[in-house]
Amino acid sequence: MKTSLKLLCGTMLLLVSTCFASEVEIEYYALSGEMKLPFSDAVRVGNMLYLSGKLGNIPGTSQLVEGGIAAETRQTMQNIKTTLEKYGSSMAEVVKCTIFLADIKEWGAMNEVYLTFFPENPPARSALGVNGLALGARTEIECLATANP
């Protein structure tokens, strides 16, 4: 009995150590365009995709869309959708978002637009007010999603 238990424990230990010893591939996706910024557009770790925060800028420019928080949120979410699809994921595979708002009082207006991008199974989420965002943006949103290998 002791020998069988030792053999079983040894086998389990070997299986567990093998699972944790396997290397996870990490891919860094550079930002496109001429502007050199100190972060990646996204990073894939195994089947997870980590997006850098997105703003409501017009793609390929540093110009924010006009129209306030609703327009910026819509463009931000469209930029997220484009990035996800570029790297083999989709809005349906988003599992967590963090939302940064220049003015937390705009949470309701942002939320109305945000919800249209997740009609079913909304991801886990955090939202917080901050003291300023890049380019003077009203919102910045970062997401984590599963992705096809």
As a three-state string, the secondary structure of the chain is CHHHHHHHHHHHHHHHHHHHHCCCCEEEECCCCCCCCCCCCEEEECCEEEECCECCECCCCCCECCCHHHHHHHHHHHHHHHHHHHCCCCHHHEEEEEEEECCHHHHHHHHHHHHHCCCCCCCEEEEEECCCCHHHCCEEEEEEEECCC
pTM metric for this prediction: 0.83
Q: What is the largest CA-CA distance in the chain?
A: 74
Domains of the chain: 25-146 (3.30.1330.40)
- Which pLDDT belongs to residue 107? 97
For the chain, list residues with pLDDT below 70.
1-22, 33-35
